[in-house]
Structure 1
Amino acid sequence: MGSLLYSSSQSADIYPVSELFLRHRLQVVEELWESVLRQECGQNMVELLRQLRDLCSPEGQATNDQASSAVKLIEQLNINEAIRAARAFALYFQLINIIEQEYEQRQQLSRYEADTEEIEPETPSNVNYSSNQREDDAPVSKGLAADLLRKSFLEKAQVKPKGTFAALFPYLFKLNVPPQQIQRLIAHLDVRLVFTAHPTEIVRHTIRDKQRQVVQLLQKLDALENHSGTTPGAYPWEAADVREQLLEEIRLWWRTDELHQFKPTVLDEVDYALHYFQEVLFDGIPQLYKRFKHTLSNTFPWLEPPSKNFCSFGSWVGSDRDGNPSVTPEITWQTACYQRKMVLGRYIQSVKNLIELLSVSMHWSDVLPDLLESLELDQSQLSEVYDALALRYRQEPYRLKLAYVLKRLENTSDRNLALYNRETPKNQDSPLYRSGGDFLAELRMIQRNLTENRFKLSRIRKSYLSGRNFWF
């Protein structure tokens, strides 16, 4: 099948490795896109879209004559054909955008790894061209997407951006910036990300999920190809299966409405705005902190990293008072409850993951007195958890403790739901967390026990557990 991106007769070894990856990924996505359109709209639509694309120059511009020819082609379409053509191009460029972002992430990772080793300007000579191939001699693809992305990324490659911690701290060291000044800045570091409603943010969660699924399948395809050592165009059955999954995902995307068929409410806007917090930032911010701490210690090991809450969040959505009559005190109340619900849901899932992870047994480890005392208190307050799980976790104190933590979080979530609905919470005497500090204190106690007993595995049982047989 012919491709809009490059001819199969072009030799792979004349391209740098990174550009070869870009071209290959673009070819894969375009072939799948064409296949879906051929099945859904017929070959005539595919040919029409090719003609429209070919009327543009590699820079994405069209001359007056080309524009006139494009207008004539479009005028020949009936309304249904025009809608299909517009949707097809919209889908095409969304897929290309996914490839662009994935490629840029790979380039950023490469630059980050290079920054970790040493700081030096990156020029085109650093790129791995073949020995007899210069950058200026690299053949130009006939594909619009490949040309535009190639130009964009080669321009970015001229100078390495100083946008990573791994580059920043060695740079400050070379400038002889006083460490005391750096420490003061770190100690006062306070980053606040504020979410706001945007009138153009109308993309459905369904479409975002499909975009994310396409990314995951492309990454899986990369892993399979790298593992099997295949070259572009030669796929084992596992990679072929992933291609088939990509085809089905793109077909489902094509058959899915891009926009909601109803007017979003304020609470819908709240949900859209916090989608990125739930899917990305909740896990991404701890990774950012770890990267900050690690790269700081590589250059200034005597400096203290920032506090773990150096990055916080706020939101205008559902609480702004800019004249929107739909934003009422009741909506703001529900927004706050919704935000609490989202955070509690993530904490509940994280605690469940910890219960699966922390299978530490009393046969092979000990715990500090404070954890044992807290288990006694938990037993008296949450007897139903003790009755259900004490036998199962009789030698696994961390799992039992986390089961109590989980129940308190669930009680807190139930109370929040009642508050959201303006109802009186049931079982108001049920143990729950009145603040994040109470929850954090229990997590820190578990952390302290794990840390202390990494090196002290034998001195507590006989001295403290003698006669204490309350749960095991």
Structure 2
Amino acid sequence: MTEMPDELRRDVRLLGKMLGQVIAEQGGDDLLADVERLRKAVIAARRGETSSDEIAAMAADWEIDRAVEIARAFTCYFHLANLAEEHYRIRILRERDTGDHVLRESLAEAVHELGQERVAELVEGLELHPVLTAHPTEARRRAVVTAIQRISGRLTDYNAPGRGATERAEDTRRLLEEIDLLWRTAQLRNTKLDPLDEVRTAMAAFDETLFRVVPQVYRSLDAALSDATGTRPPLARPFIRYGSWIGGDRDGNPNVTSKVTRETIQIQSEHVLNALETACSRIARTLTAAAPFAPASPELRAALDAVVDAHPEIVSELATRSPQEPHRQWMLFVATRIAATRRRNLDLGYRAPAELLADLRLAQESLSQHAVRQAYGELQHLIWQVETFGFHLAELEVRQHSQVHAAALEELRAGGELSERTEEVLATIRVIAWIQERFGVTACSRYVVSFTRSAEDIAAVYELAGHALGSRGVVLDVVPLFESGEDLANSPRVLAGMVEIPQIQQRLADTGRRLEIMLGYSDSAKELGPAAATLRLYEAQEQLTAWAAEHDVKLRMFHGRGGALGRGGGPANRAVLAQAPGSVAGRFKVTEQGEVIFARYGHTEIARRHMEQVTNAVLMASSPTIGSRTAAAADRFRPLAEQVAAASEQAYRALTEAPGFPEWFALVSPLEEIGSLRLGSRPARRGLGAPRSLDDLRAIPWVFAWAQTRVNLPGWYGLGTGLASVGSLDELRAAYAEWPLFNALLDNAEMSLAKTDRSIAERYLALGGRKDFADQVLTEYDRTRALVLQVTGHRRLLENRKVLSRAVQLRDPYVDALSHLQLRALTALRTGDPSEHERDRLSTLLLLSVNGVAAGLQNTG
């Protein structure tokens, strides 16, 4: 067992005690007593002091409405426990950042390990491109997230050192007030999200975190590269570019229309221009250096004189407010122009970010002559923000299925009346052209084609653009998405055909022979199982890297990773280091989805740490020394990995492709009910009715539903059989120690196994009435768990991951409580004959427990 640190225990107990007080006040002492009875029972069960049957009987004994209230209580507890843990993580980050030593996985460590010259060289081509997606994996309502953020602020105040008794009493009162409100806030959404709701939710991460954190990351790199950052021109160049599929991804989501995409970019622009205006005004107000101590350069003075002629009323006011403060006057004028840009005042507003940057650099160059700290301090942060976010915030990417394009072209070539779907395809391309005209090509040019099978699927988009726009131009970077095992194997052949397309040849010429492709982790893992998918993706990267080198193409691989381990998730920095040698080359693009967005970007310090860790990994993975070491390990252990992959895939397919498996899976999990959670605007599956095969089911609910059953099958199934197929335990241990890919595979499986509970899983699996399937799953679990521990050398799961181990141990008993409540509802819905009213209440209990388990496990899909 991992001991909980005193500070974390104190916060968990404080928040838990306050929640208990609120529950007693609102629901009565008897409700609190029932909650405590269940809490103590599940803790006792973890110690072996009571049986799972006794807890199941307790859960079944309550009236449904009482069970619903108890489920609400445990769900609220998880939100508070997660918050306490986040605060502890932040305290630890601050304590480690003492300046006495280089922080692990930081930018300073990368410079220390690789050397300043090598990092400076890599920085020239460094690209980090996170892409936010709206895939439905965030189970919490936005109102709940906001309530938690308010509690977070109150907890910060409560724990601030030096608080007096009066202040502490007020802090306590305000904490109780916010926890009371969290308890009263409905955990479940009453209405389904539409795509613009998802866009506005994502804007919160930008408003509250990303805009401030990005320049801090650049500053960290600049400080690591050389001393005296802030008193010289920066050595760090802006290397982060955010992308977004939210409002642009229409693959399988009919709710994302051309109108939605147009509104999305306008919302994004409104937010970024507001942020730039606020930042510019703040800097202007602080630039109080008087002319005798920081005189304006001749160029700035001439610019101010020109403004007097063009906008005398504005400059007159500025001169009155800021006499003898030329830099302040100029920056206030720039802020006025940003505001005019937001209001679409074409006479005063900026036409493009380049114009704004020119004005900011004019101030910077003037200040650099007499006030160097003001030149390269906060003003440099603003310049970095403009360079990173432009006037569009994040590049909006469009995604559509290749079959939709094929059907549209068939209609267009036939020349008859066009269907609504085909008209929408053409309207989407016209909106891309409109975005480029208004915000520039960088705002929207990438068009991802899912299920790309041939170069013809890429050429189809260009042909459709011709139908949509005629002679009117649009810049399109069409990106193939390779998802299935067969498609990954065929990817080099598709690229060979792509470079023969005239429009691709033109883009290669225009971009210095840059090309982007996307690798899909979710569907490959669902098809092949975790071990085989991992190796197949690695091999595809190797082949594509070799192809790119042969054809003199700068290939950027876009990694479509999910949040959960069964969809390519896990620690992002470790994932980067596990990529095939040469495939990173200073460029890393990856999706960040659902709950992952708020886990990584919900707090500025955690966001900064995450971005530094990933950048560190990109730099390290791009080092020839590390690349050659990884290549040597890959060569040595490739036969072993292929043996593991082949055996694991065979075991995985033997289960998932067996007759009756999809129907059994729908019975043993809350798969059907997950759609009622209204997690997002995208449908949970293709088509209607129960899934007849796994192809009908999207990867997200596949992983989500298995997590709810406490089986977590997509994260480990088949790996045990794969490991058992290798005769030498010593070779497996050597592969784990020396090859980052194999290390990451086993570590991710270990995390997934640690969140699995065998005894509770057994109860879920029994609901399907197929003992053969249940025995198959449990036998493979036992085999995988035992062999993973043998290979890693760990005595227990997560032995070497203290923070994660503690998090799992903290939550496990309480997740157990919700699982038993969920099982009570699921059993009644699957095997009973409830009345319509009872079914409605059971569904509420089930969905509340689903929400709570998601909060407890801290991952959904």
TM-score if structure 2 supplies the norm length?
0.40
Letter in 1 for 2:100: E
Are 1:390 and 1:400, in contact at CA under 8 Å, matched by a contact in 2?
yes
1:440 aligned partner: 357
Give me the whole-angstrom Cα distance separating, in 2, the residues matched to 1:306 and 1:209: 38
Post-superposition offset of 1:179: 5.3
Give the secondary structure class of the aligned counterpart of 1:117. Answer: coil
Aligned pairs (5 A) from 1:98-137: 98-113=83-98, 116-118=99-101
1:321-470 maps to which residues of 2 (within 5 A)? 321-362=250-291, 364-415=293-344, 428=346, 430-454=347-371
Q: How does 1:66-465 map to 2 (within 5 A)?
A: 66-113=51-98, 116-118=99-101, 162-170=104-112, 172=113, 177=114, 180-223=117-160, 226-227=161-162, 236-297=165-226, 307-362=236-291, 364-415=293-344, 428=346, 430-454=347-371
- Tell me, what secondary structure is at the counterpart of 2:242? strand
Change (3 A) 1:202 1:407: farther
Contact 2:120–2:225 under 8 Å retained in 1: no
- 5+ residue gaps, structure 2: 228-232, 373-861
Give me the CA root mean square deviation: 2.8
Indicate if the aligned counterparts of 1:361 and 1:396 stay in contact, CA closer than 8 A.
yes
Question: Residue 435 of structure 1: CA displacement?
Answer: 0.9
Contact 1:292 1:305 in 2 (8 A): no
SS in 1 for 2:289: coil
Write the distance in 2 (CA, Å) between the matches of 1:25 and 1:91.
Answer: 15
The equivalent residue for 1:128 is none
* Deviation of the 1:433 alpha carbon: 0.6
Check conservation: 2:207, 2:271, Cα contact below 8 A: yes
Deviation digits for residues 95-123 of structure 1 (CA, Å, limit 9, x no counterpart): 0011111112222333333xx4236xxxx
Number of residue equivalences: 367
Report deviation, 1:451: 2.2
User: Structure 2: how far apart are the matches of 1:355 and 1:434?
Assistant: 22
Q: Is the 8 A contact 2:287 2:328 kept in 1?
A: yes
Letter in 2 for 1:188: G
Q: Which runs of 5+ in 1 are unaligned?
A: 1-15, 120-160, 229-234, 299-303, 416-426, 456-472
Question: The residue matched to 1:312 in structure 2 has which SS?
Answer: coil
Whole-angstrom CA distance in 1 between matches of 2:209 and 2:137: 20
Distance 1:365 1:273 in 2: 41
Is the partner of 2:86 in helix, strand or coil? helix
Structure 1 contact 195–274 (Cα < 8 Å) conserved = no
Q: Distance in 2 between matches of 1:222 and 1:305?
A: 37
Superposed displacement of residue 39, structure 1? 0.8
Name the aligned partner's letter for residue 101 of structure 2: E
Distance 1:353 1:305, change over 3 A: closer
Do 2:247 and 2:256's aligned partners in 1 also have CA atoms closer than 8 Å?
yes
Q: Which amino acid aligns with 1:183?
A: A
- Whether the aligned pair in 1 keeps the contact of 2:297 and 2:366 (CA below 8 Å) is yes
Residues 55-99 of structure 1, C-alpha deviations (whole Å, 9 max, x = no match)? 1237x8486953222223222322322221111110001100111
Q: CA separation in 2, counterparts of 1:407 and 1:178?
A: 43
1:383–1:179: structure 2 CA closer, same or farther, 3 Å change rule? closer
Aligned residue identity for 1:248:
E
* CA distance in structure 2 between the partners assigned to 1:220 and 1:441 by the alignment: 41
Distance 1:254 1:311, change over 3 A: same
State the TM-score, normalizing by the size of structure 1.
0.71
* Superimposed CA distance per residue, residues 431-468 of structure 1 (whole angstroms, 9 cap, x where no aligned partner): 2111111111111221222221238xxxxxxxxxxxxx
Tell me the distance in 2 between the aligned counterparts of 1:67 and 1:26: 26
Return closer, same or farther for 1:431/1:287 CA change in 2, 3 Å cut-off: same
Q: Displacement of 1:180 after TM fit?
A: 4.4
Give the whole-Å Cα distance in 2 for the aligned partners of 1:442 and 1:104: 40
- Give me the identity figure in percent: 28
Q: 1:57, 1:87 → 2: CA distance?
A: 19
Shift of the 184–168 alpha-carbon distance from structure 1 to 2, 3 Å rule, reads closer
